[in-house]
Each structure stands twice: as C-alpha cells, then as structure tokens.
Structure 1
Amino acid sequence: MRFPGYIALGSLALSLICGCDRGAHPANADKVAPDFTVDDGENSIHLASFRGKVVLLNFWWSQCPPCIQETPALEQLHRDRPDLAILAVSIDADPASYRRFINRYHVDLNTVRDPDQTVAKMYGTEGWPETYIIDRKGVIRRKIVGDPDWSNPEIRNYLNSL
C-alpha cells in the first residue's frame, strides 16, 4: 500500500479547511489595529479611545448560535476583568432584533450595531463570532474564531500577560 499521496492530499485538505487567517495568528497580527468609529444613533465606539487598555473586539449578530452561546461568558469576563475593554460590534441589520438580544441576554458590554459590516470588512471578518485581542499599544495579538471558553485559565493568563 502507498500512503504518501493520501497523506499529502489529507494535509492539503486540512490546510484548506482551516484557512490561513482563521487561527490564532491572523494576517494582520502584530500590526496596529485599524482605527474606527461606529455610531448607530444610540451607541458609539471609537477604538482609539481605548488605547492603554487590552481590547477584545468581538464581532457578532443576534441570530448566530455560537454568538448566543458566547454572550454569558463574555459578560462574566467583563464582570471579572473590568480593566478589559470588551467592544461588541453587531452586524444586525434589524435594530429590533439587536435590541431584543441586548435586553434578553442583559448585555452590559460596550456594544454598537454596524449593519453595513464596515468594521468587520476592515478586519477581514467573515465568520461570527470572531474576536480580536488588541494589546495596550493598539497592536492586534490574536484572533479567536468561534465561541471560546473565556473562563479557560490559559486564555485568562494570556490576557493578563498583555
């Protein structure tokens, strides 16, 4: 039996499935995070105003099951680590769906609605949820895709190290 061809094919398939920018080190890692201001008429977020803090820039929407699952853990992280700036940018087109989500899940994060996905496009976000970890100097350090365990000691230690 010859396996090298199957191994090479499997490696190629795995690399295509995983994607280059879908892991912990996105293409824009170690670069200054693109600045933005989003104002939805109710709330406004200007990234540069959080310089000096570690920022978790979280992209989400109200109909996304992993986003729904992640919300309580992000809220707990916010309570445990008020020194972190957790900025939640929703791509909801419908303001009523966005508002229902905020009220239902008692979201107390800095959140804003960006229905045109202007900021998500700026960061190359195509999946939800995605979170960029930005250090105190405004440099992107990590990108987390999906619903991580924000209570995980490894993640908490990493955030403490920034």
Structure 2
Amino acid sequence: MKFKLNKKSISNVIFILAIALILYPPSREWFMRQVAFSPSIDTETTEKIDTYNWQLNGLNTTSINFKELEDKVVFVNFWATWCPPCRAEMPMIQELYNDYKDKVAFVFVTNENWETVEEFYLKNEYNLPSYNSVSAPPSKFTETNSIPATYLIDKEGKILISKTGAADWNSTKVRNLLDQLILK
C-alpha cells in the first residue's frame, strides 16, 4: 500500500499535532513560554495601592504583614500549581528572582497548602517565597480572579505593572525597570 501526501493530508497532520500539543499540559506550558511577551509598563497612569495592611502566612518563609514592604520595590504574583499559565511563567520568574531577590521583595501568593507547593517546587527546583493570604489584600489586587496575576510596585506604592496571564518576567525591559526602581 502506497501512501501519498497531498496538501490536505499535510494540513490534517499539522492540525492534529497542534491540537495534541495544546491539550498535552507539558507541551502547552512550553508553548506558552515561547509566546510569552514582556508585560507592558505604564509609568504615566499609575495608581497607588490603597493599603499595605495585609497579613501573609509564610509557607516556606517567615510570615509577614505587607506593611513591612512599604518603601520597597515589590513583585507580587498570585498563582497556583495547577494553573498552566502560572507554570509556564515560573522558570522566567525564578531566573528573575535569582538575580533580584536581595534588591526586590518577592511575594508569591497561593491558596494551596505547603505540601502541594513544596512538591511542585522540589520537582521543578524552585525556591520562591510563597504565602497564603490571611487577611484581605489591597483592593487593586482583587480586581481580577484570574491567575496568574502579577503586580510590580515601586517604593512609593505605585503599581507600574498590573498583568493578568503569563508573561516573560525575565525580559530586558523588566530588568531595566527594576534596575531603575532600585536606584531611586
């Protein structure tokens, strides 16, 4: 039996492969990483967070009140281990964290328990400081229920980046902004 490839057959094979890649979680995460863009930065119409009074229970770090981070550059990320876009952006966030953890306060907020997060961190070699929210977060952080939701706050409490969905957090644009904010 001889099999002949024509345009229609090739199109069908490509379509089936594309669907399979989208449905298979590891390939979906890989694909999301490939198409993740650097988040947009808005330094003109920035809003300040309404409160720093937000209690966080540390899962793999010390529990804090967000008030302790006032006057610091803060990177806040709401995420979950079961969320494909969250998992897709994690390698880029880990690289950023590795380079900026001593200069920027990183806060990773999840509703999951430590056992679930720890298993995920061990499997992927992550060491991001994670918390459960004990009290209500600033209202700007509750405008969406989607995850991942990430916010970059300057030392004055202005939200310079508010991004829902996966992004390339290890981009030159984000690193340049962080460098500027740290020097201020």
**Normalising to structure 1: TM-score of the pair?**
0.69
1:143 offset after TM fit, Å?
A: 0.3
**Among the aligned pairs, what percent are the same residue?**
26
Does 1:37 find its partner at 2:55?
A: yes
CA RMSD of aligned residues (A): 2.8
1:65 offset after TM fit, Å?
A: 0.6
C-alpha deviations, 1:25-47, integer Å up to 9, x for none?
Answer: 6xx94213532112267642321
Question: How does 1:120-159 map onto structure 2 within 5 Å?
Answer: 123-124=141-142, 125-159=144-178
Q: Which has the larger radius of gyration?
A: 2
Instruction: State the match for 2:107 in structure 1.
Output: 87
What is the count of residue pairs matched by the alignment?
136
Q: Secondary structure at the match of 1:119?
A: coil
C-alpha distance in 2, partners of 1:101/1:139?
A: 32
Does 1:96 find its partner at 2:115?
A: yes
Amino acid at match of 1:109: L
1:50 offset after TM fit, Å?
A: 1.8
In proportion to residue count, which structure has more helix? 2
Which of 130, 137, 162 is residue 119 of structure 1 equivalent to? 137
**Normalising to structure 2: TM-score of the pair?**
0.62
Contact map agreement 1:59 1:120 (CA 8 A) in 2: no
Which of 77, 81, 95 is residue 76 of structure 1 equivalent to? 95
C-alpha distance in 2, partners of 1:80/1:40?
A: 21
Unpaired runs of 5+ residues, structure 2, are 1-39
C-alpha distance in 2, partners of 1:153/1:47?
A: 27
Instruction: State the match for 2:31 in structure 1.
Output: none
Distance 1:108 1:157, change over 3 A: same
Distance 1:41 1:156, change over 3 A: closer
Contact map agreement 2:49 2:140 (CA 8 A) in 1: no
Q: Secondary structure at the match of 2:76?
A: strand
C-alpha deviations, 1:111-150, integer Å up to 9, x for none?
Answer: 1134x89438762231111111111122222202222112
C-alpha distance in 1, partners of 2:172/2:59?
A: 37
Contact map agreement 1:45 1:110 (CA 8 A) in 2: no
C-alpha distance in 2, partners of 1:118/1:153?
A: 33
C-alpha distance in 2, partners of 1:37/1:139?
A: 20
